[in-house]
Chains A and B, each alone.
Chain A
Amino acid sequence: MMFGMVLRRVAFSAFSLVVVSLLLFVLTRSIADSPARIVLGDQASEQQIAQFDRDHGLNRPIAVQYVTWISRLMLHADLGRSFTTGLDMNRQIRNTLPVTMEIVGIAFLVASIVSIGLGVLSALWRDSPIDYLARLLAVFGVSVPGFWLALVLILALTVERDWFPPGGFVPLSQGGLMEHLRSIALPVFCLSIFYLAVLTRMTRSSLLEVLDQDYMRTARAAGLHAGRVLLYAMRNALVPVITIAGVSFGHMFGWALIIEQIFNIDGMSRALLTAIQQRDYSMVQAVVMMFTLVFVIANLVADLLNSWINPRFAMAAS
């Protein structure tokens, strides 16, 4: 049963990717100015345009173009070359994705660990100071947009005081560990605070609900050790938290674009915004496809994790 569930989930994610990528492909192709016009300019003759389209396979029916594009991507992990700049898009992604990945990854870890810890503490010690702190943080975190927080923190901590650099990314290989961490500390904080708030709130309310169930009372009455009771409670309480965490991971990539912009970090945001400026639609399409892929995979992982820690979820899902 477990295996069947995994298979169904994976198949659905693949279906989802096909639908979404088709939508993306059709949208980019129908809206965008033709790459030939962008590259050759307004003066180009019909003949030159036709030649360009033939060279790049743009004269074939759109369905054929889509199938070529998606099968290359899925089977060979090859995004191809940009029609506009002629650059290898795999290389562009390889140059920028790791930076974004690191910032999002650390921010995600910070958000998950702190929020689950804080959520559990505030549910166990309801109406205690730590509970008030957690609830205050939850309201603050969802209301203050990360990009504004970033501006305020730059103002307060880098201009007024010299605690952090005001921007830029120091690779590990260049500045050593300390400088590297200093350069990503503020971006990571600004990116994680929103999701930290959402997940803390989710953990707290979900755990409170589970602790209120009859089987929890039974477990305590049967004399189970408090730690063991909490363990059983968590297995049920974590389900919605993990689902939201999966969705959050995908969304964090979106917000990372804005945060990277503010801190002048050379990640995927630069790749996407440069592509938009240059009207390099094949690159825009490639970047968006990468983000969507990450989003779908994160959701899939969350589902699988849920059915692993909680068999009831697996039953419901299949």
Chain B
Amino acid sequence: MRRFGSFAAQCGGPAGLAGVLIVTVLVTVAVFAPVIAPFDPLQVSILDKLNTPDNIFWFGTDQSGRDVLSRVIWGSRASLMVAAGAVMIGLAVALPIGLVAGFYSGGWFEQATMRVLEAVSAIPTLIWGIALVGIFGVRSAVWGPFTITNEEKLLGLLGLLYVPTLARLTYASAVIESRTNYVAARRLQGAGGLRIMFSDVLPNCLSPLIVQATLLLAIGIVIEAAISFVGLGVQPPTPSWGNMLASAREYLLSGEWWLSVFPGAAISLTVIGFNLLGDGLRDRLDPRHTTSGITT
């Protein structure tokens, strides 16, 4: 029991523990979707269409007789992939920018970068996401030997929209760390700028970034669902929670409640999971609360 207690404390209390559990279950479900899903999510069966939930189809079936439970399980893949991919791209672009601007603070590079980042923070994410996906078009783009699916475009775009927030956060810690004595000592040892930046400054900037990244995962889940909901995200027949909700709309007035309730519940559960995890991590890693909360 004591070991369990200390693990909960590691996660930042019982709420953090709940977050860890929810996220672990979700990732497991997404990774093992082919094994876990009871049916093929794309298998059309007109005879079974619009079945109410029963003990064969736990979440019922949709207008083409596809199993809703299996589609919700497979849908977790698209959601998590877009959310996680976007955060990774955001970090990959933002980290070097924030580090360099913070490490060489006082120079023109810092001034120019920070002003521009501050300026582009005035970009409302959801609108730009919708508009740019709309302009790109939802078809897969072929670029040399690569085929870029709409999901990949979406995650790239979201990732870039995260850059201002993440880069400013990196900068804020990097500028403080770069003025500490240990960095001065590393300089006197003759270590190069790049080396100090990545092996000494970066590890000490990570805490707030990890917390923010977790909260951005929650935001990414909702944004992906919203964009798929207006038909610009994951394209049918590939299931995603957003596009399942979009097709469920047509069956609202006729009362097929299971079509809209289950995918939405999946979104909510995921968002709760990442939020709890983020809050727990924040209590543990970033007690001064430098990260901003959840606003999309």
Is there contact, CB below 8 Å, between B295 and A144? Answer: no
* Size range of the chain B interface in the assembly: 35 or more
Indicate with 1 or 0, residue by residue over B130-166, a CB within 8 angstroms of chain A CB atoms. 1110111000000000000000000000000000000
| Inter-chain contacts of B121 with A (CB < 8 A) | 16
| Inter-chain contacts of B295 with A (CB < 8 A) | 195, 198, 244, 247-248, 251
Main secondary structure of the interface of A (DSSP, over half): helix
| Inter-chain contacts of B229 with A (CB < 8 A) | 147, 258, 261
In the complex, A142 Cα to B279 Cα: how many Å? 13
Quick check: which of A27-35, A73-81, A119-127 contacts chain B, the rest being far away?
Answer: A27-35
Interface membership of B253, Cβ < 8 A: yes
Interface membership of A231, Cβ < 8 A: no
Within 8 A of A (CB), among B241-270: 245, 248-249, 252-253, 255, 257, 260-261, 264, 267-268
| Inter-chain contacts of B118 with A (CB < 8 A) | 12, 16
Is there contact, CB below 8 Å, between A147 and B226? Answer: yes
Main secondary structure of the interface of B (DSSP, over half): helix
Pick from A13, A201, A272, A299: contact of B131, CB under 8 Å: A272
Residue of B at shortest CB range from A199? Answer: B295
Is there contact, CB below 8 Å, between A143 and B275? Answer: yes
| Inter-chain contacts of A247 with B (CB < 8 A) | 295
In the complex, A288 Cα to B133 Cα: how many Å? 13
Instruction: Known A20-B120, A273-B230, A296-B122; judge A145-B127 contact (CB<8 A).
Output: no
| Interface residue tally for chain A (C-beta within 8 Å) | 56
Instruction: Identify 19 new A-B residue pairs, CB closer than 8 A, beyond the known A15-B115, A139-B272, A198-B293.
Output: A16-B122, A20-B120, A23-B120, A32-B135, A144-B271, A145-B222, A148-B260, A198-B294, A251-B125, A251-B126, A253-B127, A254-B127, A254-B296, A258-B126, A258-B226, A273-B134, A287-B127, A292-B127, A295-B123
Query: Residues of B with Cβ closer than 8 Å to A?
Result: 115-116, 118-128, 130-132, 134-136, 222, 225-226, 229-230, 232, 245, 248-249, 252-253, 255, 257, 260-261, 264, 267-268, 271-272, 275, 293-296
Closest 3 CB pairs of A and B: A148-B264, A276-B134, A254-B126
